């Protein structure tokens, strides 16, 4: 929590309202998050690096992107709006925002569909190993022209036309693979891909929580900026009014009042920009969580400064490799690629199948008799034009790519954990320095204001002190943002985002 008591020295001047703003700014962020999709880019846009397993029906090609995007925007910055806008102003807490995001966010919905698709591909491969049974009932009439069939009879009395003949047949057909290593490995590969898709879905939930938390904090930051600039405008207005009074009294020259007016208009211009940015940040948050278009809302939660317990590098890395869903998904993709590679190799191996039918056949249903046929087939591939060799090469390439991506992701996780821990330590130090800067600049402003009132100095000194206070408070907001982002980035890096972001950001 911001030290309100440390800002009480600002209470004598209209600028003292900034003390309240600084308290509010302790819950805000001022920059876009660096969180990942799996990380958030420096401009705040989530970027997804997660990929789904290749469809089981096309196992030998390169992996396809898991998440469809519209243009270049991440789907985690989109949603399917829920319900209709109400005339009331919605009070939105972090918990409410995250629950809405987990219901409506487009990235998560698309990943859910990918999971369903992977499940379908798994059943498609399994169906080749399960019995296939179907029943048919046929009743037909046939007439045969022997001459058309090539029969020529010189003996009189033999008919040239046979029929019409009635034929009835009802039977059940079945087929079953007894042993086919190719089909077995494809089924195992599809099962691994399904598990990978499930891990991708869990990872998408973490990305949604990260995107919602990041956007919520950006909106809080925009709110704090508006309130800070409002206080600065009040300060500039008061200074301008005092300068005009002193000029009218002949105490100071006209340049002082002109200088104060320029400062006032500069602060007013910045306030206009800040209000516009605040409105756009609210629209972005509404898009991420799926609020109905036009729904008015306010943010009800604050995010006070709270140091995070230290975590060793070794502990953080162990948690990351054990908990990161994207890492587990990559492991499953490698396993799936290995099974599909084995399946391609097994195309050279013999397979054993069983097939048969049983039913009734006769001229009509009342005069039918049971018939059946059953047989086992051993199929031995000899030459298929090099197709098996081509499939094996494609599968080997896909396996190598999956392993390379897994190794890269492992190194990326190591990088992200180390960067998050460095950022967390640096941000905590920045907060302490920023607090001191706020105190010192506030004291400087008070002294400059007193010197101006006493006629010892002109208002240029006061304006410079105002700018110093504004810069100090900007740095304070920035450091608080950096600390909060470092916490949620660490939570993402160690695979703790869904629980960690809620724990770190919700009001106590």
CA distances from 24 to 28, 213, 305, 439, 480 (A): 7, 17, 11, 16, 11
The reported pLDDT for the residue numbered 506 is 62
Measured N-to-C along each axis, helices 181-248 and 94-104 cross at an angle, to the nearest 10 degrees, of 140
User: What is the radius of gyration, based on Cα positions, of the chain?
Assistant: 37
Residue with token string 């001022």? 30
Long-range contacts of 397-401 (CB under 8 A, 24+ apart): 397/62, 398/54, 398/59, 398/60, 398/61, 398/62, 398/63, 398/337, 398/340, 398/341, 399/334, 399/337, 399/338, 399/340, 399/341, 401/62, 401/63, 401/337
Go through the chain and tell me how many residues it has: 508
Element (H, E) at 283: helix 254-289
| Mean pLDDT (10-residue bins), the chain, 508 residues | 33 33 34 36 37 35 37 82 90 89 93 93 91 89 81 74 82 90 92 94 91 86 84 83 80 81 88 93 93 90 74 88 92 94 90 88 76 88 84 92 94 92 87 83 81 74 80 79 82 84 66
Question: Under CATH, what is the fold of the domain 4-130+182-346+398-505?
Answer: Outer membrane efflux proteins (OEP) (1.20.1600)
Element (H, E) at 198: helix 181-248
The reported pLDDT for the residue numbered 507 is 52
Nearest to 355 by CA among 180, 124, 133: 133
Long-range contacts of 268-275 (CB under 8 A, 24+ apart): 268/233, 268/236, 270/229, 270/232, 271/226, 271/229, 271/230, 271/232, 271/233, 274/222, 274/225, 274/226, 274/229, 275/226
User: pTM value?
Assistant: 0.74
Distance of alpha carbon 274 from alpha carbon 341, whole angstroms: 57
Element (H, E) at 184: helix 181-248
| Percent of the chain as helix, strand, coil, to the nearest 5 | 60, 15, 25
Distance of CA 120 to the CA centre of its chain: 23
Distance of alpha carbon 341 from alpha carbon 333, whole angstroms: 12
According to DSSP, the β-strands at 161-179 and 46-47 are unpaired
Burial tier of 201 (Cβ tally within 10 Å: 0-12, 13-18, 19+): buried
Contact by Cβ (8 Å): 83, 292: yes
Contact by Cβ (8 Å): 3, 435: yes
The reported pLDDT for the residue numbered 29 is 32
Nearest to 488 by CA among 479, 478, 499: 499
Looking at 29-168, list the stretches that DSSP marks H as alpha helix, in order from N- to C-terminal side.
94-104, 106-127
Distance of alpha carbon 287 from alpha carbon 177, whole angstroms: 51
Q: Name every residue whose Cβ is closer than 8 Å to that of residue 280 and which is 6 or more positions away in sequence.
A: none
């Amino acid at each position: 929590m911001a030290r309100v008591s440390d800002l009480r020295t600002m209470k004598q001047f209209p600028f003292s309202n900034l003390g309240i703003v600084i308290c509010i700014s302790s819950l805000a962020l001022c920059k876009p998050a660096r969180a990942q999709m799996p990380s958030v880019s420096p401009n705040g846009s989530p970027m997804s690096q997660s990929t789904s397993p290749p469809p089981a029906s096309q196992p030998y090609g390169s992996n396809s992107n898991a998440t469809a995007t519209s243009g270049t925007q991440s789907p985690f910055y989109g949603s399917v709006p829920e319900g209709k806008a109400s005339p009331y102003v919605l009070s939105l807490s972090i918990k409410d925002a995250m629950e809405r995001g987990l219901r409506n966010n487009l990235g998560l919905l698309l990943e859910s569909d990918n999971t369903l698709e992977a499940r379908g591909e798994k059943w498609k491969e399994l169906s080749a190993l399960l019995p296939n049974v179907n029943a048919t009932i046929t009743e037909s009439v046939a007439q045969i022209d022997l001459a058309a069939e090539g029969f020529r009879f010189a003996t009189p009395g033999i008919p040239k036309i046979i029929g019409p003949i009635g034929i009835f047949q009802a039977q059940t057909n079945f087929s079953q693979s007894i042993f086919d290593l190719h089909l077995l490995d494809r089924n195992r590969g599809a099962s691994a891909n399904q598990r990978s898709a499930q891990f991708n879905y869990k990872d998408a939930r973490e990305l949604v929580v990260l995107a919602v938390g990041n956007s919520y904090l950006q909106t809080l930051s925009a709110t704090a900026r508006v309130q800070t600039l409002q206080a600065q405008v009040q300060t500039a207005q008061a200074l301008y009014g005092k300068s005009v009074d002193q000029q009218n009294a002949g105490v100071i020259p006209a340049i002082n009042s002109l200088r104060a007016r320029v400062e006032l208009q500069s602060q007013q211009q910045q306030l206009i920009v800040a209000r516009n940015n605040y409105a756009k940040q609210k629209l972005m948050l509404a898009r991420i969580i799926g609020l109905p278009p036009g729904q008015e809302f306010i943010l009800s939660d604050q995010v006070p400064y709270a140091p995070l317990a230290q975590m060793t590098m070794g502990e953080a890395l162990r948690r990351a490799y054990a908990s990161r869903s994207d890492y587990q998904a990559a492991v499953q993709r490698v396993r799936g690629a290995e099974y599909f590679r084995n399946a391609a190799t097994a195309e050279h191996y013999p397979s054993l199948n069983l097939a048969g039918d049983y039913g009734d056949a006769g001229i009509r249903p009342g005069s039918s008799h049971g018939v059946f046929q059953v047989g086992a087939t051993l199929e031995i591939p000899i030459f298929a034009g090099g197709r098996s060799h081509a499939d094996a090469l494609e599968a080997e390439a896909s396996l190598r790519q999956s392993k390379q991506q897994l190794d890269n992701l492992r190194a990326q996780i190591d990088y992200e954990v180390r960067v998050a821990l460095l950022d967390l330590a640096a941000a905590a130090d920045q907060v302490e320095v920023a607090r001191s800067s706020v105190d010192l600049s506030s004291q400087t402003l008070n002294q400059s204001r007193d010197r101006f009132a006493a006629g010892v100095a002109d208002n240029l000194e006061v304006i410079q002190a105002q700018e110093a206070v504004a810069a100090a408070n900007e740095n304070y907001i920035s450091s608080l943002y950096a600390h909060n982002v470092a916490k949620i980035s660490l939570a993402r890096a160690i695979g703790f985002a869904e629980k960690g972001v809620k724990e770190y950001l919700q009001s106590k």
